[in-house]
Amino acid sequence: GEGEGGGGEGEGEGGGPPATALALGVGVGFGCAIDSNGHVQCWGANGSGQLGRADTTSQIGNRAEVVPGLSNVTRLAVAQSHACAAGDFGGVTTVVCWGDNTEGNLGSASGGLSAGDLVVPDVDLNILRDVDAIAADGDNNGDITCLHGGGETWCFGEQMPGYLPGHFAVRVSVLDAATELYDSLHAICGRIGSDAICTDTDTFAQGLGCTDGQPCPLLDATSFAFSDDFFCNTDDANTTRCLGENTFGVVSPASAGGGFTLTLTAVPGAGGTTVSAGTQHACVVGTDAVVRCWGRDLFFSTGRAPTDSALDDCNDAANDPSGITFCQAPEPVPMPPGFQAFTDVVTRATGSCAREVGGRVVCWGDLLTVGDQTGEAAVEIPLAP
């Protein structure tokens, strides 16, 4: 996912009050934020060095720590097991990435890299100086990263169409006019005017009409969210609509159980000003500043326990003799005491985080399990000073 923030070296370092979050990004089992001091802070698992620490063994769980060496950060993108940030680092405006690089998704050769290394992608410096959008995503098949700057879009990673071994950057000219970039597992999409164009022609992109160079129809919206098998947006009327695969009730909670629809369907009870998509669930922030999630609640991804039947709108009992609920209708995510109003929510796979109006962060789902697949309710992630 991508977030925007800003700021410089501020007060509060070295024992002062906690920083607040200006933007969020989540991966699989970890998350990061741009803080009010212009730094990046990360939390969660660290098996690929995605916390920006000089090791891959320590995990810091449900609290955040500053990634060393970054300041004046303006943009952040977090993928499955790596992250990238744009900012003014040591007087030079550039982009750096850290974490897993097995697929070349940091934009550099994997040889010689150590955990915690901040890697400058191997691309024209003029692009790095002018970066105005970043997106990153991935799964077990590999990760990808894309940058837009100076009117050009470049991507890294073996999943990218046109990738050649040893060539870390692939020009994606169909996204040169994009003003925003969106990640979608097997594709990167860009907003061009009121439409979106995707880089790939996998089944989902074709179903949306988003073949290379072709704008997606019916996507005029204030907020987009692409998943692997479905798409959601919000519009000026604060209505959330989805299309695509409906196995777990994301597109139509009342009729979950399969089927693929190419009709943008209003999701009852979702409302929403900002939408984010996980693998099999989605979340929105409504005009009432409440976070609501729906779809499959695997590993607590919707913020409600999988065995809680009180909020069920559909379930998978026919295929699961245990009767565990897998599908939830849009309902508020139970938040810790004192958290009431939120500005945005970000989700990936089966974990989510939301940013409170005052800049505090709460997360739920597999961002909190770190190896324990039982899932966990929403808790605050304290930021470091």
Alpha-carbon distance 224 to 241, whole Å?
10
Alpha-carbon distance 371 to 383, whole Å?
22
Q: What is the pLDDT of residue 189?
A: 84
Alpha-carbon distance 360 to 342, whole Å?
9
Tell me if 34 sits within 8 A of 23, measured CB to CB.
yes
Burial-class residue 42 by CB neighbours within 10 Å (0-12, 13-18, 19+): buried
Q: Map 51-86 to HEC letters.
A: CCCCCCCCCCEEEEEECCCCCCEEEEEECCCEEEEE
Q: Look-up: residue for tokens 């009730």? A: 249
Q: What is the pLDDT of residue 308?
A: 46
> What is the torsional sign of CA 171, 177, 181, 185?
negative
User: What three-state secondary structure class fits 208?
Assistant: helix
User: What three-state secondary structure class fits 203?
Assistant: helix
Each residue's pLDDT tens digit, 181-203: 988 766 778 888 878 888 765 66
Q: What is the pLDDT of residue 355?
A: 98
Q: Which of 22, 28, 135 is nearest to 77 (CA)?
A: 135
Q: What is the pLDDT of residue 144?
A: 84
Which residues of the chain fall below pLDDT 50?
Answer: 7-13, 308-313, 319, 321, 323-324, 370-373
Q: What is the pLDDT of residue 269?
A: 92
